[in-house]
Structure 1
Amino acid sequence: MSSISNQEAATPRRRRRAVAELKAELRGVRVQLAVLNHQVGTQAELKDVDLDCLDLISSRGPLSPSMLAKHAGLHPATMTGILDRLERGGWIVRDRDPSDRRAVVIRVLPDRNAEMFRLYSGMNSLMDTICADYDDAEIAVITDFLRRVQAAGRTASEELGN
């Protein structure tokens, strides 16, 4: 007779299945958000990588081109073309860094940023509806989980880049 009961053996199996399902759902989220971002990019006449960089500038900016390249996981030389397109489209402006007049920082132009908010308004409304089903403690757990997933993604990206 085995020293591990069927109940005890089922718990690790259930856990593995639950974690596998969670990972599958995260892949599904990634795909759906990629589809949404592609649709938003199409409406805004932006390439997917341009939209990613615009979002990084909006959320973390103003940024130097080299810092943006680092956050985006792109080669700094690639940034020139992306920034040229974003500037031509009226999405960003390159300013002299007030702390170092030789350096450049990139910032988002507010008028075009409002257009981006409009394009994402449907998703934002749906997210508000979803979040209404969770209490503050549950939202805190979900937020913590997503922060940790982002950190894991950064770590995995860095390891692949080396």
Structure 2
Amino acid sequence: MTDERRAAALEHLMTVGRQHSMVTVMFHSAIAAKQGLNATEEKTLDVLQRRGPLTAKDLAEHTGLAPASVTGMLDRLQAKGFVRRVKHPTDKRRVLVELDETRLAELAVFFEEWARDIVRACEEFDAQELETVNRFLEVMTEAQSRATARLTG
């Protein structure tokens, strides 16, 4: 690939990336609003679903949010019935935050059609192309996590 072609591809990537970021935020905001949540709350539920019960400190690390922000958010999520605080099984001084699976199931409905859309959209790509996209997204996720950590300090 020539330097000129690579530069053009990177410039296009920046444009497409911004568009994708915008529609992703809007999608999650719309889903969150259906359940009286904001996008940060909805994505925090996703972290808990993928990682299992976590402490507030762990959630702060995984989300990049300030600890005080996490505490307030957990208070709101608990009041809305999406999470509960429980004693840590081995360290009684610590508290874990766990999901209420019944409330989470209410959110899953909104993702089912989207998951089918993703599968359909990916039909045009072969395994090698999908592996490249996966690798790219993993690298970009790590880079964005570092950028978030710098911003939240």
Fold match by TM threshold 0.5: yes
Quote the Cα distance in structure 2 between the aligned partners of 1:16 and 1:34.
Answer: 27
| Identical pairs, percent | 28
Task: Please state how far the C-alpha of 1:161 moved relative to its aligned partner.
Answer: 3.4
Matched residue count = 153
Per-residue CA deviations over 1:122-143 (Å, capped at 9, x if unaligned) read 2211111112221222211111
What root-mean-square deviation, in Å, do the aligned CA atoms of Structure 1 and Structure 2 show?
1.5
User: 2:46, 2:116 → 1: CA distance?
Assistant: 19
Verify: 1:123 aligned to 2:114, yes or no. Answer: yes
The residue type paired with residue 29 of structure 1 is H
- Deviation track 1:95-134 (CA, whole Å, cap 9, x = no partner) reads 1111211101111111122111101222211111112221
1:160 matched to 2:119: no
Query: Structure 1: which 5+ residue stretches go unaligned?
Result: 1-9
Alpha-carbon distance in structure 2 between the residues aligned to 1:140 and 1:112: 33
**TM-score normalised to the size of structure 1?**
0.88
CA distance in 1, matches of 2:82, 2:40: 14
Where in structure 2 are there 5+ consecutive unaligned residues?
A: none
Match of 1:134 in 2: 125
Partner of residue 91, structure 2 = 100
- Is residue 83–residue 97 contact of structure 2 (8 Å, CA) maintained in 1? yes
Partner of residue 144 from structure 1, selected from 120, 131, 135:
135
Amino acid at match of 2:58: M
- Aligned counterpart in structure 1 of residue 3 of structure 2, from 5, 12, 29: 12
Q: Is structure 2 residue 14 aligned with structure 1 residue 29?
A: no
Deviation at 1:81, TM superposition (A): 1.6
* 1:57 matched residue in structure 2: 48
Secondary structure of the residue aligned to 2:2 is helix
